[in-house]
Chains A and B, each alone.
Chain A
Amino acid sequence: MNDQATMPDGIAVGRSIPKLENREKVLGEAQYIADLQRPGMLHAAILGSPYPHARIRGYDTAAALAAPGVVAVLTGDDVGEGRMGAFIKDEHALAKGKTLYVGEPVAAVAAETEAQARAACRLIEIDYEELPAVLSPEAGIAAGAPILHEKLADYLKVFDAGSSGNVASRTRFEEGDVDAAWADCDVIVEGEFTTQAQAHVAIEPCGALAEFEPGGRVTLWSANQSVFRVQANVCESLGLSMAKLRCLTPRVGGGFGNKMEAHVQPITVALALKCRRAVRLILSREEDFEIVRARHPFKIRMKTGASRDGSLVAREVEVLLDCGAFADDSPGVMGYSLLMSSGPYRIPHRRAQGRLVYTNKLRFGAFRGFGQPQMCFAGEQQIDEIATRLGIDPIALRRQNMIAPGDSWFLGQQVLSNGLAACLDAVENASGWKDRPHSTRQGRKRRALGVAATAHISGLLGTGATVRMLEDGSVVLNTGATDIGQGSDTVLTQICAEALKIPVEQVAIASPDTDGSPYNWGTTASRVTYTTGRAVVGAARDVEQKLKQHASEMLECAVGDLELRPGGRVGIVGVPQAEVPFAAISGRAHWAQGGPITGDHSLVFERMTHDPKRALAQGLPFPRIGVFSFGAVVVETETDEVTGKTRIVEAWSAADVGRAINPQLVEVQLEGAFVQGMGFALVEEMVWDGPRLANPSLMDYKVPGSRDTPYDIHSIIIEAPEPDGPFGAKGVGEIGINAVPAAIANALALTTGQRHRALPMTCERVLDAIMQSDTPA
Chain B
Amino acid sequence: MEGRQDLTLTVNGQQRRVSVEGGETLLTVLRDQLALTGAKRGCNQGVCGSCTIAVDGWPVRGCLSLAAACEGREITTIEGAGADPAMGVLQRQFAERGAVQCGFCTPGMLISARRLIADTPQPGVEEVQAALSGNICRCTGYRKIVDAVLAAAAELAP
Which residues of A come within 8 Å of B, CB atoms?
A: 16, 18-19, 21-23, 25-32, 34-35, 200-205, 251-256, 282, 284-285, 484-487, 664-665, 667-668, 671-676, 697-699, 703, 705-707, 709, 711, 713
The verdict on B20 contacting chain A, using a C-beta distance below 8 Å, is no
Residues on B with beta carbons closer than 8 Å to the beta carbon of A30: 103
A-binding segment of B2-10, B35-43, B54-62, B64-72: B35-43
Task: For residue B107, give the distance in angstroms from its CB to the closest CB of chain A.
Answer: 5
The answer to the question of B96 belonging to the interface, with a C-beta cut-off of 8 Å to chain A, is: yes
Contact partner, B142, options A284, A697, A706, Cβ 8 Å: A706
Q: What B residues does A282 contact at CB under 8 A?
A: 41
Residues of B within 8 A of A285 (CB): 42-45, 48
Contacting pair B102 A202 (CB below 8 A): yes
Across chains A and B, which 3 residue pairs bring their CB atoms closest together, nearest first? A28-B38, A485-B102, A25-B103
A671–B129 Cα distance when bound, in Å, is: 15
Interface residues of B in 102-141 (CB under 8 A from A): 102-107, 110, 125, 128-130, 132-141
Is residue B50 contacting chain A, with contact meaning CB distance below 8 A? yes
> Which residues of A sit under 8 angstroms from B78, Cβ to Cβ?
27-28
A-B contact pairs, 23 of them (CB 8 A): A16-B98, A18-B96, A22-B94, A26-B103, A26-B110, A29-B79, A32-B40, A35-B31, A201-B136, A202-B104, A204-B40, A204-B102, A487-B101, A664-B98, A664-B144, A668-B101, A668-B144, A672-B139, A697-B43, A699-B45, A703-B136, A709-B142, A711-B143
Shortest distance between the CB of A407 and any CB in chain B (Å):
32
B45 engages A698 (CB within 8 Å):
yes
Q: Which residues of A contact B132 (CB under 8 A)?
A: 705-706
Do residues A21 and B103 form an inter-chain contact, with CB atoms below 8 A?
A: yes
Residues of chain A within 8 A (CB-CB) of B140 are 668, 671-672
Known: A32-B40, A674-B141. A203 touches B94 (CB 8 A): no
Answer whether residue B47 sits at the interface, using C-beta atoms and an 8 A cutoff.
yes
Q: Quick one: which of B84-109 are within 8 Å of A by CB?
A: 90-92, 94-98, 100-107
B145 at the interface (CB under 8 A from A): yes
By the criterion CB–CB under 8 Å, are B102 and A203 in contact?
Answer: yes
Expressed in whole angstroms, the minimum distance between the Cβ of A59 and any Cβ of chain B is 29
Contacts of B101 in A (CB 8 A): 254, 485-487, 668, 672
CB of A698 to closest CB in B, whole Å: 4
Residue pair A23, B135 in contact (C-beta under 8 Å): no
Please state if A668 and B98 are interface contacts (CB–CB under 8 Å). Answer: yes
CB distance from B45 to the nearest CB of A (A): 6
Q: How far is the CA of A203 from the CA of B107 in the complex (A)?
A: 13
Identify B135's interface contact among A200, A664, A706, CB under 8 A: A706
Chain B residues within an 8 Å CB radius of A697:
43, 45, 47
Known A-B contacts A699-B47, A706-B145; A204 and B104 likewise in contact (beta carbons under 8 Å): yes
Q: Are A23 and B98 in contact (CB under 8 A)?
A: no
Is A22 a contact of B100 with CB atoms below 8 Å? yes
Q: A707 and B141: CB pair below 8 A?
A: no
B146 interface residue (CB < 8 Å to A): yes
User: Does B25 make an interface contact (CB < 8 A)?
Assistant: no
Provide the residues of chain A in CB contact with B41, threshold 8 Å. Answer: 34, 205, 282
Q: Which of A251, A255, A672 has the most CB of B within 10 A?
A: A672
> A202-B104, A672-B101, A672-B139 given. 4 additional CB < 8 A pairs?
A22-B103, A34-B41, A203-B102, A254-B104
Residue contact B94 to A26, C-beta cutoff 8 Å: yes
Say yes or no: A18 contacts B98, CB within 8 Å. yes
Provide the bound-state CA to CA distance between A484 and B138, in Å: 12
Complex Cα gap A272–B96 (Å): 41
Given contacts A27-B78, A27-B91, A203-B138, contact A32 B43 (CB under 8 A): no
User: Quick one: given A19-B100, A252-B102, A698-B43, are A26 and B141 in contact (CB under 8 Å)?
Assistant: no
In the complex where A25-B106, A28-B79, A709-B141 touch, is A204 in contact with B44 (Cβ < 8 A)?
no
Q: Is the CB of A672 within 8 A of B141?
A: yes
- Least CB distance, A605 to chain B, in whole angstroms: 26
Q: Which residues of B contact A256 (CB under 8 A)?
A: 138
User: In the docked arrangement, what's the CA distance between A19 and B140, Å?
Assistant: 13
Contacts of B97 in A (CB 8 A): 664
Partner of B37, one of A31, A699, A709: A31
Task: Tell me which residues across on chain A come within 8 A of B95, comparing CB atoms.
Answer: 18-19, 22-23, 25-26
Nearest-neighbor residue (CB-CB) of B47 within chain A:
A698
Cα A252 to Cα B103 with chains together (Å): 9
A28→B77 contact, CB < 8 A:
yes
Chain A CB within 10 A, most for which of B40, B94, B110, B134: B40
Chain B residues, CB < 8 A from A698: 43, 45, 47-48, 136
Partner among A25, A32, A671 whose Cβ is within 8 Å of the Cβ of B143: A671
CA separation between A16 and B147, bound complex, in Å? 15
- Write the chain B residue with the least CB distance to A705: B133
Instruction: From known contacts A27-B82, A672-B141, infer whether A203 and B105 are also in contact, taking CB-CB under 8 Å.
Output: yes
Chain A CB count within 10 A is highest, among B90, B95, B105, for B95
Of B37, B105, B106, B143, most A-chain CB atoms within 10 Å:
B143
Contact indicator B48/A251 (Cβ below 8 Å): no
B128: which A residues are within 8 A, CB to CB?
A: 706
Q: Chain A residues near B40 (CB, 8 Å)?
A: 32, 34, 203-204, 253
Cα–Cα, bound, A770→B92 (Å): 47
CB pair B129 A707 closer than 8 Å:
yes
Bound-complex Cα distance A121 to B90 (A): 44
**A205/B144 in contact, CB under 8 A:** no
- Of all chain B residues, which has the CB nearest A671? B141
Task: Give the nearest-CB partner of B81 in chain A.
Answer: A28
Which chain A residue lies CB-closest to B21? A115
Instruction: Assess the A203–B141 pair: CB atoms within 8 A.
Output: no
When distances are taken between beta carbons in the complex, the residues of chain B under 8 Å from A676 are 138, 141
- Bound together, the chains give a CA A29 to CA B133 distance in angstroms of 24
Complex-state Cα separation, A487 to B139, whole angstroms: 11
Contacts of A705 in B (CB 8 A): 132-136
Complex contacts, A664 vs chain B, CB 8 Å: 97-98, 144
CA distance A254 to B140 in the complex (A): 10
Partner of B103, one of A485, A699, A709: A485
User: Given A675-B142, A699-B45, A203 and B98 touching (CB < 8 A)?
Assistant: no
> In the complex, A487→B95 CA distance in Å?
12
Closest residue of B by beta carbon distance from A653: B141
Residues of B close to A201: CB separation below 8 A = 136, 138
Residues of B within 8 A of A713 (CB): 141, 143
Chain A residues near B42 (CB-CB < 8 A): 203-205, 285
Give the docked Cα–Cα distance between A464 and B142 (Å): 34
Q: A25 to B31, alpha carbons, bound, how many Å?
A: 16
Q: A594 vs B77: C-alpha distance in the bound complex, in angstroms?
A: 52
- Residues in B with CB closer than 8 Å to A26 are 90-92, 94-95, 100, 103, 106-107, 110
Query: Which residues of chain B are within 8 angstroms of A711 by Cβ–Cβ distance?
Result: 125, 129, 142-143, 146
Residues of A with C-beta under 8 A to B91: 23, 26-27
Instruction: Kindly list chain A residues whose C-beta atoms are within 8 Å of the C-beta of B43.
Output: 285, 697-698
Looking at the assembled complex, report how far the CB atom of A112 sits from the nearest CB atom of chain B, in whole angstroms: 12
Among residues of A, the one whose C-beta sits closest to the C-beta of B39 is A28
- Please tell me if the beta carbons of A485 and B45 are within 8 angstroms of each other in the complex: no
Q: Given the complex of chains A and B, what is the CA–CA distance between A25 and B108 in angstroms?
A: 11
Instruction: For the complex, give the distance between the alpha carbons of A26 and B137 in Å.
Output: 14
Report A-chain residues with C-beta under 8 Å of the C-beta of B103.
21-22, 25-26, 30, 251, 253, 485
A336 shortest CB reach to chain B, Å: 23
Q: Is the CB of A202 within 8 A of B138?
A: yes
Minimum CB–CB distance from A662 to chain B (whole Å) comes to 9
CA distance A200 to B133 in the complex (A): 19
A689 to chain B minimum Cβ distance, whole angstroms, is: 19
Q: What residues of A have a CB within 8 angstroms of the CB of B125 in the complex?
A: 711
Q: In the complex, what's the smallest C-beta–C-beta distance from B120 to chain A, in angstroms?
A: 15
1/0 per residue, CB under 8 A from A, across B8-19: the answer is 000000000000
Check A25–B100 contact: CB distance below 8 A: yes
How distant is the Cα of A636 from the Cα of B46 in the complex, in angstroms? 32
A464 to B91, CA, bound (A): 35
Looking at the assembled complex, report how far the CB atom of A41 sits from the nearest CB atom of chain B, in whole angstroms: 11
Chain B residue with minimal CB distance to A36? B37
Residues on B with C-beta less than 8 A from A204 are 40, 42, 102, 104
